[in-house]
Homo-oligomer: A and B are copies of this chain.
Amino acid sequence: MHGKHVRLAHGGGGRLTGDLVREVFLKAFHNPTLNLLADAAPIQIARGQAIAFTTDSFVVSPPFFAGGDIGRLAIAGTVNDLAVSGSIPRYIACSFILEEGFPMEHLERIVQSMAATANEAGVEIVTGDTKTVEKGRGDGIFITTSGIGLTRSDVQISTESIVAGDALILTGTLGDHALAVLKARNQFSLDFEIESDVAPVNGLVATLLDAVPETRFLRDPTRGGVAAVLGETSRDKAWGFILDEQALPITSQVRSLCEILGYDPLTLANEGKVVAVVPADAVEKSLKALQSHPLGRHAAKIGYVDTVRPGIVLLKTLIGGTRVVQVPLGEDLPRIC
Residues in A lying within 8 Å of B, measured CB to CB: 7-18, 38-45, 47-59, 61, 81-82, 84-85, 87, 91, 93-97, 126-134, 136-139, 142, 144, 146-149, 151, 219-220, 222-224, 228, 232, 267, 269, 326-335, 337
Contact = CB atoms under 8 A, between A and B. Distances in A.
B58 A131 contact: yes
The 8 nearest A-B residue pairs measured at CB? A12-B330, A13-B223, A14-B330, A146-B146, A13-B224, A55-B93, A144-B144, A40-B85
A223 to B, nearest CB: 3
B59 A52 contact: no
Most buried by B among A11, A57, A136: A57
Nearest to A132: B334
B13 A41 contact: no
Given A42-B52, A133-B335, 20 more contacts: A8-B334, A12-B331, A12-B332, A14-B224, A16-B330, A17-B330, A18-B232, A39-B220, A40-B52, A40-B147, A51-B148, A53-B91, A53-B146, A54-B93, A55-B127, A55-B146, A61-B137, A129-B144, A131-B335, A133-B142
A9 to B, nearest CB: 4
Nearest to A222: B13
A322 to B, nearest CB: 21
Given A14-B328, A16-B330, A45 B50 contact: yes
Nearest to A142: B97
Nearest to A334: B8
A52 B41 contact: yes
Nearest to A235: B18
A8 B331 contact: yes
Contacts of A12: 223-224, 328-334
Contacts of A132: 59, 334-335
B330 A54 contact: no
A312 to B, nearest CB: 14
A58 to B, nearest CB: 7
A15 to B, nearest CB: 5
A57 to B, nearest CB: 4
Given A48-B47, A139-B138, A55 B232 contact: no
Contacts of A55: 93-95, 127-129, 144, 146
A155 B14 CA distance: 28
Contacts of A52: 38, 40-43
A31 to B, nearest CB: 13
Nearest to A332: B12
B95 A57 contact: yes
Contacts of A127: 53-55
30 contacts: A8-B334, A12-B224, A12-B328, A12-B329, A13-B223, A14-B223, A14-B228, A15-B326, A15-B330, A17-B223, A38-B52, A39-B54, A39-B84, A40-B84, A40-B147, A40-B149, A42-B51, A42-B151, A44-B50, A45-B45, A53-B146, A56-B95, A59-B131, A59-B132, A97-B144, A131-B335, A136-B136, A138-B138, A138-B142, A142-B142
Contact of A15 (B39, B85, B327): B327
